[in-house]
Structure 1
Amino acid sequence: MPIAIKMPALSPTMEEGTLAKWLVKVGDQVSAGDIMAEIETDKATMEFEAVDEGVIAHIQVDEGTEGVAVGTVIATLAEEGEDAGDVQPMGDGAAAPAAAATPAPVEDAPAPKEAATPAPSPSPTPAPTPAAAPSGDRIIASPLARRIAEQKGIDLTGVKGSGPNGRIVKADVENAQPGTAKADKEAAAPATPTDALPVAKPEAADFGIPHEVEKLSSMRKTIARRLTESKQQVPHIYLTVDIRLDALLKLRSELNAALEPQGVKLSVNDLMIKALGKSLEAVPACNVQFAGDTMLKFTRADVSVAVSIPNGLITPIVTDAGAKSVSKISTEMKDLATRAKDGKLAPEEYQGGTASLSNMGMFGIKQFEAVINPPQGMIMAIGAGDKRPYVVDDSLQIASVMSATGSFDHRAIDGADGAQLMKAFKEMIEAPLGLVA
């Protein structure tokens, strides 16, 4: 019996993905464990392995297709002993109802005489109207064909499909004339009071400035949606402290000299991760998440660290950051950041975390307020350390100082608790021997 290969859920929150690349073709023999395709989620590009053995009989979703819902049949596998040529493609779009195969032509239906003079409002008992074309959900077309048709302005009701059971495929819409079917359909339809009004098309907008239109990636769409939700739904409170860095920088230099034979080189960010982890352990009231009628209180500090990648931002997680040595954190972060930029992180390596840290000091940013990464309860924003006038032992001196700003979910974390966390973080940085104890 043929096997339907469906779009997998590669993470607990995945609802749709992009079929980035097929690594098999029709007629290929596959075994369990073989890599069949590359699937792009909102955070990474992951390999999709076969779980059954057989021959690829049909590929129903072309590579490059975006927005493929989890559970959609993307290919059909013929089991051992079956003739792949005799296997029909599986899935909801593989076969159409008889009525959908031969839609009622709108051109042959007589237009009502009254249509030339539009009425100001519809009658409670409608007059006879032309036969309606099939609704969009009854048009059998591949996702790629639908996308190309939308881009070219092609009405799929006027396109004849050459695929199985009349399915409209890529070649059908590429050979169709843009706008022709749509124009014919509109010419046959009765006039309405709004027919003469100009319709603004966003893709045709003239800004008067040379520009390009770039389609949002799955990651960028997710970033936009989640951060919009965060700013709209999470009441942020911001607390900022200035922190003297001289002792931390001295300790880092000494540690790097000692760790050099092991090939470990600590960054300031590694020490900040450790400091935030220990601060969350010291102030557990901030190591929480708001969950409607309940509060989640965590017993360890998993710190998500913002990493910039070509398509946006991802937050790999240093688990139990308060308990790990700074050398272990440094080694893990280098590995996580490298694989994040290559799109090779596993879902559990970037989903979760109890709090986040975002460091923009390397860009010279003095101070900023980060947006909370829901459902977490807080994020620490680290600015650049620079030489500033600073009071030391009641005298004005020059010191290396940075500004750190904590953004807190005020539903879960009171201002006083947030202030305690910022105080603990400042003390950890200014007396850094506690980070290596």
Structure 2
Amino acid sequence: MSTVVRMPEVLAGTTEAAIQTWMVTVGQAITVGMPLAEVETEKANVEYASEVDGTVLKLVVAEGQDVRVGDPILLVGAEGEGTDHAELDGPGGQGSTEAIPPHASQAGASDASESSASDASSPAAEPADQSRRFISPLVRRLVKEQGLDLSGVAGSGPGGRIVRRDLEGLSAPEQATAAAPASTPEPTPAAAVAPVESTGGTTTEVPHTGMRKAIARRLTESKSTVPHFYLVADCRVDRLVALRKEVNESASVKVSINDFVLKASAMAFIDVPEANATWGESAITRYSTVDMSVAVAIDRGLVTPVLRSVERQTLTEITRSVADLAGRAKAGQLKQHELEGGSFAVSNLGMYGVTEFSAIINPPQAAILAVGLARQQPVVVDGEIEVGTVMTVTLSADHRVLDGALAAQWLAAFVGHIENPLGMLV
């Protein structure tokens, strides 16, 4: 019996996504775990793997087509089985959608398939000369927000599809100058912000992006439902600063203070394993490995890719892993598993001159460490005042998972490791 595969909620809070690239074709045999498609969301491109065995009978949606979570995208069954299925005609189904021929997204696709994909990919708000082009959902949003002109852009995606990397180097003001006669005012793009007059000057309204809405929803939920409490500690990091300088003088990879913070956090969980846990409706889950999220600021907001088994990684391995995740986060190329899991997060604003702040927990994680600037200040040692390098950290903890004493034990262990950094190198 055939099975309808539906658009998954590939990331928490996702309500809509798009098939960026089909990785299977009609008639192909698939097994559990085999990649089916790259799914594009507001945050990342996610590789979606099959949860069933069988043969691909029908690709229900075209590449680039926006699909609600829960809608059919694929029909799988036995070889030679028909493509009719009751669920494709029910609520949320797309039974009227024609099956997409194998390789329909490539250059040799039929005119009918190209027309269908183009119509689904191009909203009415886009200029007419862009309405029949293959454009990824992420690019469509950037076109609206930034008023970009794609008339001279050659797509590098499947079938000439314009993807995010094709926008590198483009800017709306430069294109407008080149495209519009000097005597003609530049038209206002559909999603451009409009000035609003006020007695104190002018203001602008910036429409909410999908990512901004998701951030607002999840963090509001966290502050409303998770009982936060906060612990603050000042770390004396003179030894760490000196050791980092010495390491970087001879290492091929430059280690940051944040890399030491990640390593010290992982070692603190080894010392206090009860703190490595998350909250669930029926139970608290404890973990044997330390997987932690690293906050990465991108153009559209904030993403938190997960660094796996940090306790097993050397400082240079942590450096490379963080650089890789941050680079792909900014390029919108993170995969689903890289945004899931983790029991802990680190948010560092020290590079912006922030000395101290409190961060909001990202459920179901139980804690997040906010890291401030390492700065010189007077320090009292044995009754004498001297200049020391101090870094203030604030632990936000979920009181349902971590009691005050347990959180304090973890923070004390962290301070011990960060103030004696040589132990992180052995």
Smaller-chain TM-score bracket: 0.5 to 0.7
1:53–1:310 distance in 2 versus 1, CA, 3 Å: farther
Instruction: Verify: 1:19 aligned to 2:18, yes or no.
Output: yes
Residue aligned with 1:220, SS: helix
- 2:215 maps to 223
Determine the C-alpha separation between the residues in 2 that align with 1:312 and 1:288: 27
Structure 1 counterpart of 2:272: 283
Q: 1:214 aligns with which of 176, 195, 207?
A: 207
Name the residue aligned to 1:106: none
The alignment covers a number of residue pairs equal to 326
Q: SS state of the match for residue 377, structure 2?
A: strand
In the TM superposition, what is the alpha-carbon distance from 1:16 to its structure 2 partner?
3.4
- Whole-angstrom distance in 2 between the partners of 1:14 and 1:52: 30
1:391 maps to which residue? 380
2:9 touches 2:69 (CA, 8 Å); kept in 1? no
Per-residue CA shift, 1:158-201, capped at 9, x if unaligned?
Answer: xxxxxxxxxxxxxxxxxxxxxxxxxxxxxxxxxxxxxxxxxxxx
Larger Rg: 1 or 2? Answer: 1
**Does the aligned pair in 1 maintain the 2:45–2:332 contact within 8 Å?**
yes
Q: Which amino acid aligns with 2:318?
A: I
Q: How does 1:171-320 map to 2 (within 5 A)?
A: 208=197, 209-217=202-210, 219-260=211-252, 264-320=253-309
Aligned position for 2:69: 69
The alignment yields a C-alpha RMSD, in angstroms, of 4.1
Extract unaligned runs of 5+ from structure 1. Answer: 97-141, 152-204
CA gap 1:434/1:60 in 2 versus in 1, 3 angstroms = closer
**Residue in structure 1 matching 2:320, options 331, 347, 359:** 331
Q: Percent identity?
A: 36
Unaligned runs of 5+ in 2: 97-116, 126-193
Alignment partner of 2:333: what SS? coil
Q: CA deviation at 1:210?
A: 4.5
Three-state SS of the structure 1 residue aligned to 2:309 is coil
> For the structure 1 residues 9 and 396, does the alpha-carbon distance in structure 2 shift closer, same or farther, using more than 3 Å as the test?
same
1:65–1:31 CA distance, 2 compared to 1 (3 A): same
Task: Tell me, in whole angstroms, the C-alpha distance in 1 between the residues paired with 2:42 and 2:10.
Answer: 10
Query: Could you say if the C-alpha distance between residues 8 and 32 of structure 1 is closer, same or farther in structure 2, counting changes exceeding 3 Å?
Result: farther
CA distance in 2, matches of 1:296, 1:49: 25
3-state SS of paired residue (1:383): strand
Q: Is the aligned partner of 1:348 residue 2:337?
A: yes
Cα distance, 1:365 vs structure 2: 0.9
Distance 1:7 1:366, change over 3 A: same
Letter in 2 for 1:8: M
Partner-residue secondary structure (3-state), 1:353 = coil
Structure 2 counterpart of 1:130: none
Query: For residue 422 of structure 1, what is the aligned residue in structure 2?
Result: 411
Rounded to whole Å, the distance in 2 between the matches of 1:91 and 1:224 is 35
Aligned CA distance change for structure 1 residues 74 and 211 (closer, same or farther; 3 Å): farther
Task: Please identify, of 368-377 and 42-51, the stretch whose mean Cα deviation from structure 2 is larger.
Answer: 42-51
The answer to whether the Cα contact below 8 Å between 2:47 and 2:335 also exists between their aligned partners in 1 is: no
Select between 328-337 and 34-43 the one with higher mean Cα deviation.
34-43
Q: What is the deviation of 1:293?
A: 4.4
Shift of 1:355: 0.9
Per the TM alignment, residue 47 of structure 1 is displaced from its structure 2 partner at its CA by: 5.2
The 8 Å contact of residues 289 and 354 in structure 1, kept in 2 or not, is answered as yes
Distance across 2 between alignment mates of 1:35 and 1:286:
35
- For 1:237 and 1:312, the matched residues in 2 are separated by 25
User: Does the aligned pair in 2 maintain the 1:23–1:35 contact within 8 Å?
Assistant: no
Judged with a 3 Å threshold, the aligned counterparts in structure 2 of structure 1 residues 366 and 36 are, in CA distance, closer, same or farther, namely same
Q: What is the rounded CA distance, in whole Å, between the counterparts of 2:363 and 2:40 in structure 1?
A: 22
CA contact 1:280–1:421 (8 Å) conserved in 2: yes
1:269-292 CA-to-partner distances (Å, cap 9, x unmatched) read 111000001111112232222223
Aligned match of 1:365: 354
Q: Which amino acid is 1:222 matched to?
A: A
Cα gap change, 1:413 to 1:9, in 2 (>3 Å): same
Work out the CA distance in 2 between the residues paired with 1:402 and 1:62: 49
Moved runs in structure 1, 4+ residues, more than 6 A?
32-37, 48-56, 79-82
* Deviations, residues 366-393 of structure 1 (Å, cap 9, x unaligned): 1100001111111100001111111234
Does the CA-based 8 Å contact 2:14-2:41 persist in structure 1?
Answer: no
Work out the CA distance in 2 between the residues paired with 1:54 and 1:346. Answer: 23
Question: Could you say if the C-alpha distance between residues 359 and 31 of structure 1 is closer, same or farther in structure 2, counting changes exceeding 3 Å?
Answer: same
Per-residue deviation at 1:14?
7.0
Q: 1:214 to 1:36 in 2, by over 3 A?
A: farther
Give, in angstroms, the shift of residue 35 of structure 1: 9.3
